[in-house]
Structure 1
Amino acid sequence: MRLLLAASLLVLVAGETLEWFQYKVAPLAEECKEETSATEDDIRKVLERQDPDTRASQCLLACVYRRLGGMTRSGLASSDELRDSLLELYRDSAYKQGQVGLIVDRCSPAVEQQPDVCLKARKLFECIRENVY
C-alpha cells in the first residue's frame, strides 16, 4: 500500500510537481494517522491537496500543520511561525513564496473565527488554496 501511495505522489498541479510538498508532508501524515483515526483516503486527500471533507481528514490536516509549525493544538500559530512554516513548505516555488505574506494577512483572521482546531485547519487550507493555486 505504501508503494502505491508513494507512486501516486508524482501528481502534477498547475505544471508544478508536488514532490517537495509531499516529501515534507507524507511522513507527518503517517505520524498523525493514529492520533486522528485518519484513513488512507484521508491521507491521500491531504497529500494531493484535495478538499478535507471529513472530520478525520480535517484533524489530520491540523496535526500536519501543527508539526510543520503553522498551527498549535488550540489554533493558528503566530504570524511569524506561520510565515516561516509556509516559506519552508513552498521553498520549491518562488511564486508561492511570494504569496506567503498575503496568505498570512488574509487567512489568519478567517481561520481564528473557526470554533475548533480541525475546522481551523480546513479554513486555512481553503484560504491557502484560494490565494496560491
Structure 2
Amino acid sequence: MSFSNFVVFITVCISYLMAANVTDIKLKYLQYVLECATEHSVSTEDIRDLAKHRVVKGDNIKCMLACAYKKTGMTDEEGKLSAERMKEIAETAYHDDAEKKKKSEDFTRTCLYVNEEGISGERKECERAAKIFKCAIDNFDSAV
C-alpha cells in the first residue's frame, strides 16, 4: 500500500467534510495537520516519521495527532475514537460503495479497543491519539 493511498484513506476517514472531491478532503486535512503541527511545535523529522508509518514517540507529535483527529471529528472531546462519527464519515466518503463502507466500519471496529485502554496523566488525549495511529498502521492493509 503506497503512502499516498494510506493518506487518502485516513484523510477520508478522519475528514468528515462536505468536499467536492478527494483532493479537497486531502487539502483540508493537511491544513489541520499544519495548524496542529505549528500549535504543538512538531519537527520536520516527526512529520517524516509519520509519513513513513513509524510509531510516534514525542509528546509534541502525539498531541499534534490528537489535535488533528479532534478537528476532523475522528475523536470526541475526550480523545476517544468515535465509532458513530467514523460511520458517518464512511457513509459520506463511500455512499455508493457498500464494500468499502463495510471495510471502513470493520477497520474502525478493529481500533475501538484503544478507547478502553487505561491511559493516565495530563496528556491522555495525546497518548490515545498515538495508539489510534499505531492501530491504523498495524491494521490498515488487512482492513482495506
Does the pair score TM above 0.5? yes
Counting only pairs closer than 5 Å after superposition, residues 16-31 of structure 1 correspond to structure 2 as 16=5, 18=7, 21=11, 22-31=26-35
| Contiguous gaps of at least 5 residues in structure 2 | 12-25
Residue 68 of structure 1: aligned partner:
72
Which stretch has the larger CA shift, 63-72 or 98-107?
98-107
Structure 1 residues 109 and 29: alpha-carbon distance in aligned structure 2, compared to 1, 3 A threshold: same
Calculate the TM-score normalised by the size of structure 1. Answer: 0.67
Residue 13 of structure 1: aligned partner:
2
Query: Per-residue deviation at 1:90?
Result: 6.7
- In the alignment, is the contact (CA less than 8 A) between 1:28 and 1:67 conserved in 2? yes
Structure 1 residues 104 and 45: alpha-carbon distance in aligned structure 2, compared to 1, 3 A threshold: same
Query: Per-residue deviation at 1:61?
Result: 0.9
In structure 2, how many angstroms separate the alpha carbons of the residues matched to 1:41 and 1:72? 28
| Contiguous gaps of at least 5 residues in structure 1 | 1-11
| 1:9-39 deviation digits (Å, cap 9, x = unpaired) | xxx7178474674534321111112322212
- In the alignment, is the contact (CA less than 8 A) between 1:26 and 1:47 conserved in 2? no
- In the alignment, is the contact (CA less than 8 A) between 1:59 and 1:118 conserved in 2? yes
Identity %: 22
In structure 2, how many angstroms separate the alpha carbons of the residues matched to 1:66 and 1:50? 21
Extract structure 1 runs of 4+ deviating beyond 2 A: 14-25, 40-51, 82-85, 87-91, 94-99, 109-112
- Aligned counterpart in structure 2 of residue 83 of structure 1, from 83, 87, 104: 87
Residue 32 of structure 1: aligned partner:
36
The one-letter code sitting in structure 2 at the alignment partner of 1:72 is D
Question: How well do the aligned residues superpose, as a CA RMSD in angstroms?
Answer: 3.2
Residue 63 of structure 2: aligned partner:
59
- In the alignment, is the contact (CA less than 8 A) between 2:3 and 2:51 conserved in 1? no
Calculate the TM-score normalised by the size of structure 2. Answer: 0.63
Residue 123 of structure 1: aligned partner:
131
Structure 1 residues 61 and 99: alpha-carbon distance in aligned structure 2, compared to 1, 3 A threshold: same
